[in-house]
Amino acid sequence: MITLGPGLRLHARTLGLSHWGAIHVPNHQLADYGRVLSGAGFVVPPVARWRPPRAAVRQLRDLHRAASRMAEARAGALTDPQAAHGLEQQIIEALVECLTAGPVEEETRTAARHRAILAQFEDLLQSEPLLGIADICAALGASERTLRECCNKHLGMAPNRYRRLRGMQLVHRALRSGSPVASSVTAVARRYGFRDLGGFAANYRALLGELPSVTLRRGSHRGVTALTLGPPRIKLS
């Protein structure tokens, strides 16, 4: 389990297929419940990894799954204040049990610095997709070696490769959106930093299994369908 404090961001890498579940609890509320239920001081570090017993995790996962199914299949069920409150109480109790029954690994200073560098790296990739690695490192105030170490450890790849894969995903998302902004493959590719269009198309196909022009065409059809099937317009005279 991972806990993350308010306003913080974290990169988590898995080595295979995985399922993630999220629970949001206000910090002061979790601390109050923890003190009452554990009968002792209860502090949740800003960023930490926990290894609770399997039985405690299983109970929390089952409650989380039940709440998700209820919210998806019977949206009206959670409008009952008593039912919602009871389910919330059970989930918080199971969460506190997980956070008090097993060892915790708190974030080190080095890990906190790496996390901050990666968060700034993501922001730069979003706002300045054409920046080179040297300029990115200068903006981060970190050496290229440090950035490479952060990316290899937390993302499993070098900065340039991560930037290319991220750019490919953003291009794919834009092309399949059917938005008028995504009017051509060339414009979208260049917007996300791809200048060698021939190499870009080949890499795109190897990664996503189709040429970018095919994605654009399908996205355009989706946009037309959405307009055709949208709600009727009523003209008032």
Q: Where is average pLDDT lowest: 41-50, 63-72, 134-143? A: 63-72
Closest by CA position to 169, among listed 197, 207, 131 = 207
Place of tokens 């915790």: 104
b/e burial code for range 43-78 (CB count within 10 A of at least 16 → b): ebeebbebebeeebbebbeebbeebeebeeeeeeee
- Cβ-contact 158, 152 below 8 angstroms: yes
In the chain, what are the domain boundaries?
A: 2-11+22-106, 108-156, 159-230
Q: How high is the pLDDT of residue 43? A: 85
Q: Which helix (H) or strand (E) holds 3?
A: strand 2-4
- For the question of whether the overall pTM of this predicted structure is more than 0.85, the answer is no
Q: How high is the pLDDT of residue 15? A: 82
Q: How high is the pLDDT of residue 227? A: 33
Q: How high is the pLDDT of residue 17? A: 86
Q: How high is the pLDDT of residue 79? A: 58
**Domain 159-230's class?**
mainly alpha
Q: How high is the pLDDT of residue 230? A: 38
Contacts (Cβ under 8 Å, ≥6 apart) of 115? 8, 9, 10, 11, 47, 107, 154
The confidence band for 234, taking pLDDT boundaries of 50, 70 and 90, is very low
- State the alpha helices, DSSP H only, in the chain: 27-38, 54-73, 81-101, 109-127, 133-140, 144-154, 159-175, 185-191, 197-208, 212-228
Q: What is the pLDDT of residues 192-208, one digit of tens each?
A: 888 888 899 999 999 98
